[in-house]
Amino acid sequence: MKNTAKVVIIGGGIQGISLAYHLARRGLTDVCLVEMKELGSGSSGRSAAIIGHAFPSENCLPLVELSFAALMRFQDELDADPGYEPIGCLLLAGAQGAPDPSTGSGYDLRRRHALLQSKGVVSHLVDRETISRLTPGLNLEKIEVGLYGPRDGSVDPHSIMMAYAHHARRLGVEFAEGVKATGLQIEGDRVVGVHTTAGFMATHCVVNAAGFRAREVGTWAGMDLPITNMKRHIFVTGPIAAYSQPIPFTYEVEVAWYMRREGPGLLIGMGAVESDEEDPQVDWSFLDVVADHSVYRAPALAEAEIKSGWAGLRPITPDDDPILGEASHLRGFFNDCGWGGHGIMNAPAAGIVLAELIVDGTTDRVNLTDADISCFRAERFEGWLSKGDC
């Protein structure tokens, strides 16, 4: 590992790798990414791999559009297939569209549909009959409304990460795998280096793309990032006759349960439990919970044979938006974290935007329409600065 770099990225998930590539593409190639295990070994490799408009906040919608555009040119730009399949996304909710009981917001599907229409995004508010046509065999008890996005779909995170990493390496970026960042060196109001298990690296720019470790890394910069790691399980079944044909990614918002086709079977996900596991393992007793709801909502799943399963962490902020941008109190320290379950779909855009910010000091060159990434800074949260630090 080199002992100096213009930019050090902490974290080798899809966010960090995307940033490394886009920095190099802008001509800033003196970059070192440190990853304590292997590239993509954290949450990026354990997701449901969906890109869609129904999930992000209004603030994040321009990022999703930018990511869509990047994925559409991915093959030409990187000579690799991102695995995009426009299977569509179908969200299901009760009579009120599943508003948050305290705010009336959240996954209010009617409000979300109106928002998407106002932004020129194709979406359809659908009734029970249409829901049954899109995803046959569902028990629609307590389900009254659906939101369908035909452009939404699945991607291949591994292919995207490996293509970004390959071209970043080709352009001169160093990837230090098996190297754990352990702290920052700070002088005055500026970061000047990173301490790692492989030694010290001098730098004036550090990016916190540490995924589930992002809150810990933030403390090194004197920040208290309000990120909570939530554990979610995913199970993959064998073939199921009732779902031998394509279906959209089908997501029930009240219980955060979903399913989509995966090879000859189905991928089924559920769960949102706070966890401090570094390497989350499957809690097989939770399979009973998933199975009960799965069979209730899609009775044909009673015949499903579970072939495999895994668990992952979703680093979530209180408003479900990421923390992105330079810290106001510490020059050269940037956050790129708190993406929740939306890191895959936003990775191309975040890499483009943050590379512009680091190289040019502004994002004016990036056409984000009505987006202003200052809304993603940690300063929007009360208590973001640790007392007595920095």
Q: How many helices (H) and strands (E) does the chain have?
A: 9, 19
pLDDT of residue 75: 97
The three-state secondary structure class of 51 is strand
User: Within 139-241, where are the H helices?
Assistant: 157-171, 214-220
Whether the per-residue pLDDT at 246 is higher than 60: the answer is yes
Q: Which residues contact 288 (CB under 8 A, 6 or more apart)?
A: none
Whether the per-residue pLDDT at 299 is higher than 70: the answer is yes
312 strand-pairing partners: 232
387 confidence band (pLDDT: 50, 70, 90): low
pLDDT of residue 141: 96
What values do phi and psi take at 383, rounded to 5?
A: 80, 20
262 strand-pairing partners: 265
What values do phi and psi take at 229, rounded to 5?
A: -85, 120
Whether the per-residue pLDDT at 369 is higher than 50: the answer is no
Average pLDDT estimate for 364-383: 76
pLDDT of residue 107: 64
Alpha-carbon span 145 to 125, nearest angstrom? 7
- How does pLDDT run across 261-291, given as a tens digit for each residue? 999 999 999 988 899 898 899 999 999 999 9
Whether the per-residue pLDDT at 97 is higher than 80: the answer is no
Average pLDDT estimate for 95-100: 59
Average pLDDT estimate for 189-212: 98
Hey, where are the domains in the chain? 7-51+157-224+319-380, 86-152+228-316
Alpha-carbon span 223 to 327, nearest angstrom? 9
The CATH-assigned architecture of domain 7-51+157-224+319-380 is 3-Layer(bba) Sandwich (3.50)
Average pLDDT estimate for 175-199: 98
- How does pLDDT run across 316-349, given as a tens digit for each residue? 999 999 999 999 999 999 999 999 888 899 999 9
105 confidence band (pLDDT: 50, 70, 90): very low
| Closest by Cα among 366, 3, 364, 378 to 179 | 3
CATH 3.30.1490.100 fits 86-152+228-316, yes or no: no
Q: What's the one-letter identity of residue 223?
A: M
| Closest by Cα among 46, 347, 57, 34 to 208 | 34
102 confidence band (pLDDT: 50, 70, 90): very low
What values do phi and psi take at 270, rounded to 5?
A: -170, 155
pLDDT of residue 364: 67
Give the torsion through C-alpha atoms of 275, 280, 284, 289, to 10 deg: 40
Average pLDDT estimate for 78-100: 86
Candidate from 38-42, 55-59, 121-125 with smallest mean pLDDT: 55-59
More confident residue, 327 or 104: 327
pLDDT of residue 101: 44
pLDDT of residue 16: 98
- How does pLDDT run across 344-358, given as a tens digit for each residue? 999 999 999 999 999
| Sheet (strand 174-177) strand order | 174-177, 31-35, 7-10, 206-208, 333-337, 323-326
CB 285 within 8 A of CB 304: no
